Amino acid sequence: MSIVERPLPPLNADERTTLESWLDFHRTTLAIKCEGLDNEQAAAASVPPSPFTLTGLVQHMAEVERNWFRRVFAGEQAPPIHDPQADPGGPDGGFDLAEGATLGGALATWREEIARAREHCAGRALADTGRFMEQDVSLRWIYVHMIEEYARHNGHADLLRERIDGATGV
């Protein structure tokens, strides 16, 4: 039984509530996939030949949150978290683990980025825009993209977790 509660998104709600609820559902799913693992397990590349790890995946999602909500939507000059030499306008990184990286540290940073994302979106309309690739991009589009990004990576997290300790589901 998970200690993280993951409520089902409402079945009949307005658009914003639906989008935010599904995004939070997928954020919570990733947290559940990491529950009960130690740093060594979470740093294990458990689906060879891929070097993909759960800690790296959490780090990546922190970068993705930062990119879409802080850089693109809010227009902040927020440097990359896990690779300070990387181009802030380039692809979202974070998959590589620095020496001493921990799951707890990755989760804390990821949660901080989620909190910042919520702050930037509060009081903003779904039609409000940021800039991406020299074009306007709506908050609505960003929410849909983030749901897709989490759904795809949660599938990866399922495989990683199952290989680590056999845990499936959720």
10-residue averages of pLDDT along the chain (170 residues): 78 97 97 95 87 94 96 95 64 79 97 98 97 97 98 94 85
Which pLDDT score is estimated for 90? 52
- Model-level pTM? 0.92
Give the pLDDT score at 142. Answer: 98
DSSP sequence for 70-136: IIIIT------SS-TTS-TTS-----SPPTT--HHHHHHHHHHHHHHHHHHHTT--TT-EEEETTEE
CB 4 within 8 A of CB 21: no
Instruction: Report whether 18 contacts 10 (CB < 8 A).
Output: yes
User: What pLDDT, on the 0 to 100 scale, is given for residue 92?
Assistant: 58
pLDDT on residue 85: 60
pLDDT of res. 82: 82
Instruction: Sketch out the chain's domains with CATH numbers.
Output: 15-165 (1.20.120.450)
Q: CB neighbours of 52 closer than 8 A, spacing ≥ 6?
A: 45, 95, 156, 160
pLDDT for 84: 59
* DSSP-assigned letter for residue 48: T
